[in-house]
Structure 1
Amino acid sequence: MEHLSPLDAGFLEAEDSDPHISLAVGVVSIIAGPVPEFSEMLAALTDRAQDIPRFTQRLHTHPLDIESPEWVPDPHFDISHHVHRAALPEPGGDAELFALVAGLMEGRLDRERPLWQSWVIEGLSDDRWAVLVKVHHCIADGIATSETLGRLFDDGGPHTSFASDIRASKEPDAPMMPRFPRPSLNPLKWAGELWHVTTSAADALERAVVGAAELTVGVLAGAPNSSLVGPVSRMRRFSAARVEIADLEKVCGAYGVTLNDVALAAITGSYRSMLLDRGEAPSAGALRTLVPVSVRAMDDLGVTDNRVSAMLPLLPVDEPDPVARLTVVHERLARVKASGQREGASALLVAAQRIPFALSAWTIRLLTMFPQRSVTALATNVPGPRERQRVMGREVLEIIPVPPIALQLRTGIAMFSYADRFFFGIIADYDSAPDVDALAAGIESEVATLADLSGGRTKRRERSGHPPASAS
């Protein structure tokens, strides 16, 4: 039996801290062609789910948290508890699809059963249909979820992923640990090697300590009053933005920044517009953003668990110029990476594994009970497959991520790269963020502006049954 790590279990504790939230993540795949017979789809998903251990396992918890929860086989596993049908009202566009997705993501998953559900969605316009898969965050982080759900596609095997581009995939060791060179056979070199190992360990420890301190200050720091944080209701809204990866790369080449810099700059500009439209001043401290960072090596892409660290950059929502905003985003991300926030968060997680689970569980439970107002946004980037996928012989046109919201954040944004496109999935509290569609449209507009300033946008390659990019 496999036990949950403190980070995995922490998502359960955070969910328990607020009856209005569900800490499940989702993926919406929009597929070309006629919807298959439901019996065929159910049979295919039954076969493919059997190859994903977590899809046939449930949680077993212990009284008084004497041990962390563990995964055990569900002796009564029944695929009909997990796969459902849904139909959209006419005209079956983005508005209808996104409203359904929001409603399906609101409810919590039943902890007496394996923590996932799926819906085959019919009635989508332009001869399309969709599949929503919902998985609890305690099972896996974004990359592991993407790799796991990839097994539901027709090829069912490993696919070439944008995950190979991330920093952690090229680092086999934990980020807060130094790499120790293989000892030389020459005794005359031993003293120098020992000095190198000692100083590397000291540098790594210093970075982890400084990074952990910066994260603590960021969490405890005060922030201007903002409508972006506060109590949330049980209901959700969902929207999405779609952009061409070629446009993002064009901006990267023009300004010497990364793709993630461009995406975060677009998010920053859209939040700025949202705050202005709400009559709020986008001040310098208004958008401290939780940015999860993968620490998963390439060899562990198929491991189903959470392997993430975190950074808390202040995004420059106060900067009115889009190019200057992009430059500041790039500089601030470079600074927080250099400061050791990533290493500091990882070190805290490793420390949590060294203490009794009951202590870590009750600590998380206590901390999540207190309202926080310093972090105002979530932006997580999940690399997806480079090649186009198929389900039941039909082409997967789009893959849109659905993040959760918690800890009084009223909006959350997940980014996902698939083939030649980049998707922003935006979840929001129904009552306090009715302008979620404007947030999505603002992201598309910001990318378009930066691409135009970089020499012009890439002309969209139209695909059969694939509508132009737009937010509902």
Structure 2
Amino acid sequence: MVDSRVFVDEVPPGADSGMTGMEAVMWRTGREPLLRSPIVLVHVLDSAPDWSRLVEEWTRLTVQVPRLRERVVEPAGGIGTPRWAPDPHFEFDHHLHRVRLPAPGDLRQLLDLAQLMERTPFDPSRPLWEAVLVEGLDGDRAGFLLKLHHSSMDGLSVQRMMSLAFGRAPDERPGPGRLRVLEPLDGEDRERHGLLGRSAAVLGEGRRLVGRVLRQPFGTLLHAQRLVDSAFRVLLPGLGDTSPLLARRSTSRRFDVLEVPLDVMRETASRHGVSVNDVFVATVLGGIRRYHEGHGVTLDTLPVAIPIAMENGARSSGNSFTVGRFPAPVGETDNARRMRVVSDLIASARAEEAAAAPVHLAELLVPLPTPAVIPLFRRVAGAHDVQLSSMKAFTEPVYLAGARVQRLYPFGPLPGGAISVTMVWFDGNCCIGVNLDPASVAEAGMLVRCLEVEFEAVVDAVRKAGR
């Protein structure tokens, strides 16, 4: 029997469940098929877990993480901030399913099923997640597919949630988490609290700015000018032209996977004085360059977007990120030089004083009618071809309902883009998920092979250096 009390991480007293501006924009613009934002995780398990145990543990998880039992509620007339509210008709069986692959049950079949799952729209009247246990994978293995809407969680929130879902040994059952019983606000109080909270923050910032002007007029004006300049670089960066080879768009998706030993990526990063993320980004760019050269197209730079994490405390759900964009040095043929340039570009994007400008812009868009927001979001999303993301996940073995998770492949959303590549650190490996639009990438197999060649070169360089 699952305890029906609410298990959550620390939530500030009085916090409402109104969507942030970024969440609201991702939710509403998803009505445009090209701008959908699902996140898909593909887990490869060493065996099929016990079904009853899996159901029990995931039922408990929906109590630990309230977002899994919440649906989106739009304000009257569709004007204002959507909010998260408990689904009064929550049915667990609607969200967790069980299927079996036909023979031969290989990884390609599992990825094809995940692609189909990605393309299936969420039911907007229910919580925005779905999971499928996939039995019949070769070698007596199984798969576990999880799909969430990006408006409900970002990558860090998903990681925190999965830390509650995984055990650290086959017989370990995930713990109950931290108990905190919340008294929910009614709809009007939620909306009023959200509006007053944002208004108070803006007014408070305004008062502080006026006070600074009175005390230090010259220095404050210089700071304001720097902030404006930074905002223009963030919102209207000189990204250069997108690739003519990647121009077409569709609602279809193609999933592929790669993996590289984590110690190889760490050694490469250490040797070149950069981060593992820098190595990942630079190597992916090398693969994209190879793909273009194979089609007789030469590029110096390519518009790329990366998520930049913002602190949001220790909550298990929600979004707390902004977006950094820059012209990536795809034309640089030397991977070592490309790593250093990428490192500088990413550091600059994170250091921008107005790095949070996209978040503030999203807040301003919330009151607007969705048909007015979609064209703007389409233009912003269409300004870059490629989205890249990486994060640390689990560096030690983890288990799902007693089955060891051998691999975890992440597939980030692709709203309006051509290619999304995401990497997670997982149990000694860097697991890489490639999510691409086959209308943009006409020869998906060729692109994946180009990426493999570049990552193989990284592995070979470390092995040669160790001889």
TM-score by length of 2: 0.80
Q: Map residues 397-416 of structure 1 onto 2, 5 A cutoff.
A: 397-407=406-416, 409-416=417-424
The CA RMSD over aligned residues, in Å, is 3.0
Q: CA–CA distance in 1 between the matches of 2:456 and 2:224?
A: 42
**Which letter does structure 1 place at the counterpart of 2:44?**
I
Kept in 1, the 8 Å contact 2:29–2:370? The answer is no
Q: Does 1:13 align with 2:28?
A: yes
Which among 109, 113, 118 is matched to residue 100 of structure 1?
Answer: 113
Deviation at 1:438, TM superposition (A): 3.8
2:45 is matched with: 31
Which secondary structure does the structure 2 equivalent of 1:384 belong to? strand
Deviates more, 1:79-88 or 1:356-365: 356-365
Q: CA–CA distance in 1 between the matches of 2:365 and 2:463?
A: 57
Q: CA–CA distance in 1 between the matches of 2:409 and 2:83?
A: 30
After superposition, the Cα gap between the structure-2 partners of 1:141 and 1:404, relative to the gap in structure 1 and judged at 3 Å, is: same
Q: CA–CA distance in 1 between the matches of 2:240 and 2:329?
A: 16
2:271 is matched with: 254
> C-alpha deviations, 1:232-266, integer Å up to 9, x for none?
1x322100111111001111121111111100011
1:164 is matched with: none
1:426 is matched with: 434
Q: Does 1:295 align with 2:304?
A: no
> C-alpha deviations, 1:331-363, integer Å up to 9, x for none?
33334344x1xx42314424654x583138666
Kept in 1, the 8 Å contact 2:106–2:138? The answer is yes
Kept in 2, the 8 Å contact 1:23–1:108? The answer is no
1:470 is matched with: none
Could you list the runs of 5+ residues in structure 1 that have no partner in the other structure?
160-193, 460-472
Q: Does 1:215 align with 2:234?
A: yes
Deviation at 1:125, TM superposition (A): 1.4
Deviation at 1:88, TM superposition (A): 2.2
Kept in 2, the 8 Å contact 1:246–1:420? The answer is yes
Which among 251, 259, 264 is matched to residue 242 of structure 1?
Answer: 259
Q: CA–CA distance in 1 between the matches of 2:390 and 2:223?
A: 26
Q: Map residues 77-116 of structure 1 onto 2, 5 A cutoff.
A: 77-116=90-129
Which among 440, 444, 456 is matched to residue 448 of structure 1?
Answer: 456
Q: CA–CA distance in 1 between the matches of 2:126 and 2:374?
A: 23
**Count of aligned pairs between the two proteins:** 411
Q: Map residues 30-429 of structure 1 onto 2, 5 A cutoff.
A: 30-33=44-47, 35-154=48-167, 155-156=173-174, 208-218=227-237, 222-232=240-250, 234-281=251-298, 283-285=299-301, 287-296=302-311, 300-338=313-351, 340=352, 343-350=353-360, 352-353=362-363, 355=364, 357-359=366-368, 364-370=373-379, 373-407=382-416, 409-429=417-437
Deviation at 1:382, TM superposition (A): 2.7
Deviation at 1:321, TM superposition (A): 2.4
**Which letter does structure 1 place at the counterpart of 2:354?**
G
**Which letter does structure 2 place at the counterpart of 1:284?**
D
> C-alpha deviations, 1:139-178, integer Å up to 9, x for none?
011111121132222353599xxxxxxxxxxxxxxxxxxx
Deviation at 1:208, TM superposition (A): 4.0
Q: CA–CA distance in 1 between the matches of 2:223 and 2:447?
A: 39
> C-alpha deviations, 1:389-415, integer Å up to 9, x for none?
1111121111111112112x1221111
Kept in 2, the 8 Å contact 1:22–1:105? The answer is no
Q: CA–CA distance in 1 between the matches of 2:55 and 2:398?
A: 19
**Which letter does structure 1 place at the counterpart of 2:112?**
A
Kept in 1, the 8 Å contact 2:54–2:400? The answer is no
After superposition, the Cα gap between the structure-2 partners of 1:316 and 1:157, relative to the gap in structure 1 and judged at 3 Å, is: farther
Kept in 1, the 8 Å contact 2:243–2:385? The answer is no
> C-alpha deviations, 1:296-344, integer Å up to 9, x for none?
25xx233411111221122211122222322322233334344x1xx42
After superposition, the Cα gap between the structure-2 partners of 1:291 and 1:77, relative to the gap in structure 1 and judged at 3 Å, is: same
Deviation at 1:119, TM superposition (A): 0.4
> C-alpha deviations, 1:9-28, integer Å up to 9, x for none?
11112212x22453110111
Which secondary structure does the structure 1 equivalent of 2:130 belong to? strand
**Which letter does structure 2 place at the counterpart of 1:156?**
P
Kept in 2, the 8 Å contact 1:248–1:259? The answer is yes
Deviates more, 1:239-248 or 1:83-92: 83-92
Could you list the runs of 5+ residues in structure 2 that have no partner in the other structure?
1-15, 168-172, 178-214
Q: CA–CA distance in 1 between the matches of 2:164 and 2:109?
A: 28
Deviation at 1:107, TM superposition (A): 1.2
Q: CA–CA distance in 2 between the matches of 1:392 and 1:448?
A: 34
After superposition, the Cα gap between the structure-2 partners of 1:65 and 1:247, relative to the gap in structure 1 and judged at 3 Å, is: same
Q: CA–CA distance in 2 between the matches of 1:382 and 1:158?
A: 25
Kept in 1, the 8 Å contact 2:99–2:133? The answer is yes
Deviation at 1:48, TM superposition (A): 2.2
2:444 is matched with: 436
| Identity %, equivalent residues | 23
TM-score by length of 1: 0.79
Kept in 1, the 8 Å contact 2:249–2:439? The answer is no
Which secondary structure does the structure 1 equivalent of 2:327 belong to? coil
Kept in 2, the 8 Å contact 1:246–1:458? The answer is no
Q: CA–CA distance in 2 between the matches of 1:371 and 1:142?
A: 21
Deviation at 1:440, TM superposition (A): 3.5
After superposition, the Cα gap between the structure-2 partners of 1:371 and 1:324, relative to the gap in structure 1 and judged at 3 Å, is: closer
